[in-house]
Structure 1
Amino acid sequence: MLAAGWAMSVPSLAQVGPSPAEAAGYQGLHAAAQRGDAAQIAVLAAGGANLNARDGNGRTPLHVATFARQRDAIRALAKAGAAMDLLESDRYDAVTIASVAGDEETLRLLLSLGASAKQVTSRYDGTALIAAAHLGHDGVVRQLIAAGAPLDHVNNLHWTAVIESIVLGNGGARHQATLKALVDAGANLQITDRQGNTPLSLARSRGYNEMAKMLEQRGAR
């Protein structure tokens, strides 16, 4: 099992939104996306601006708008034809950015505009669902499941969304709700971590009694 200190450092290694200095230096579509200027996005798009231009970290205007929670800008970019599923340099897409932020409204918008919940993202070869389960964003998890996110994807740490809801959670109400959403959706409860531990054994070893009970009731071993 990975050391607890390392495991809890995973979020800090994750996404990097634009810094204040980067945001202040943006021009064109990136600047319009950052400030949520839908009208300017439409003007620039009509003038032939590259809708999928990249900043120094590979972020497109859509990534920038998602980090900034600028939903009018997201709508304008989608209407103009921006690609919805590109990855930035750290291999995050807009769906995973919104999911990690627990930004349910922006996620709902992205999915309604055709963004995918099924991509493999991040340096961990994970998914938006795994990232949201890790953080106990149960509302996000339910949205992603409804959008067809792969329930049983195994990342390069050899963890599924079910496993991450346990090993990177705190056993509290939100992680319990996350696990319940995954269990109710039919996630595989027998996939083990790299050491051969099942989700049930992981929950028991951490003293997460409610999670263990939930898994036992679903026939997990």
Structure 2
Amino acid sequence: MRLLVPLAAVAVLAACSSGDGASPAGSTPSAATTPSPVATTPTNPYADLSASRLSQQLLSAASTGNADKVELLLAAGAELESRDSRDRTPLLLAVTRDRVEAARVLVDAGADPDALDDRHDTPWLVTGVTGSVAMAKVVLEADPDLTIRNRFGGISHIPASERGHADYVAYVLDTTDIAVDHVNDLGWTALLEAVILGQGTEPWQQIVESLVRHGADVSIADRNGITPLQHARRLGFTEIARILERA
């Protein structure tokens, strides 16, 4: 006796064996047919700025310490040695305001640590004014010229000694070959400035100790022939006088 196959069953079997590649309803497409995500490259928001605007933005970013913006601006073509109205470079502005991370980006990009402004300051010289050891470490990576003089004929550890930046003076003397007995245009060494312009308290005592320990000549007198020890006694700086007497 012949078996009769229902027509509906025949239709289902034909669809499954037709080889058209169609997936059953509700199934997940294979990995081979899944579209790949399209990779996108972030655009630099400063890419279309003019050269002058790039320079202005870079000077501002360095001054405020926006290290990420500094990096983007340099990538967009900002001039590394841009100058403001006082001939200050981005690095000099970052150093002046102790923006360490921004300064690091600039130094890594090759910024000049010896670029002079209209007051004859350089990024390195200004570290002696601010007394920032962290910044001194960054700028030293750029191999600054330690012999460049400021407008008073001094080098970095002299204003630092005057201002009581004890940690800075110790660091610079410990890590560089800066001229300990350099004499500025006033006829003063760092030792004389620490005594004459200092307050005689602990920071200046530490500075005198550091200078003496690194071989400062305690006999170098000012233009009137007065030695650091004589100044210390005159000013009543007893502890500094003791340090100098032992030297």
Q: TM-score scaled by structure 1?
A: 0.80
Q: How many residues align?
A: 192
Supply the distance in 1 between the matched residues of 2:110 and 2:240 (Cα, whole angstroms). 44
Aligned residue among 125, 137, 141 for 2:169: 141
Residue 133 of structure 2 is aligned to residue 114 of structure 1: no
Q: Does the aligned pair in 2 maintain the 1:111–1:117 contact within 8 Å? A: no
Cα distance in structure 1, aligned partners of 2:100 and 2:162:
25
The corresponding residue for 2:195 is 166
User: Counterparts of 1:116 and 1:148 in 2: how far apart (Å)?
Assistant: 11
* Structure 1 unaligned spans of 5+: 1-25
How far apart in 2 are the matches of 1:159 and 1:76? 36
Matched-pair contact (CA < 8 Å) for 2:112–2:142: no
**What displacement does 1:126 show?**
0.6
The one-letter code matched in structure 2 to 1:156 is: D
Q: Given that residues 108 and 143 in structure 1 are in contact (C-alpha distance below 8 angstroms), is that contact kept between their aligned partners in structure 2? A: no
Report matched runs for 1:43-62 at 5 Å: 43-62=72-91
- Partner in structure 1 of residue 185 of structure 2: 156
- Between 1 and 2, higher relative CO (CA 8 Å, sep ≥ 6) is seen in 1
1:185, distance to aligned residue in structure 2 (A): 0.2
CA displacement at 1:111 relative to structure 2: 1.8
Q: Tell me, in whole angstroms, the C-alpha distance in 1 between the residues paired with 2:170 and 2:63.
A: 28
| 1:142-221 equivalences in 2 (<5 Å) | 142-146=170-174, 147-218=176-247
Q: Could you tell me whether the CA contact under 8 Å between 1:125 and 1:155 is conserved in 2?
A: yes
Among candidates 115, 127, 140, match of residue 86 of structure 1 = 115
Q: Give the secondary structure class of the aligned counterpart of 1:109.
A: helix
Match of 1:98 among 127, 133, 138: 127
Does the 8 Å CA contact 1:200/1:212 hold for their aligned counterparts? yes
Deviating above 4 A after TM superposition, structure 1's stretches of 4 or more consecutive aligned residues are none
Q: 3-state DSSP class of the match of 1:27?
A: helix
User: Rg larger in 1 or in 2?
Assistant: 2
Q: What CA RMSD, in Å, does the superposition of the two structures yield over aligned residues?
A: 1.7
Q: Tell me the CA shift for residue 55 of structure 1.
A: 0.7
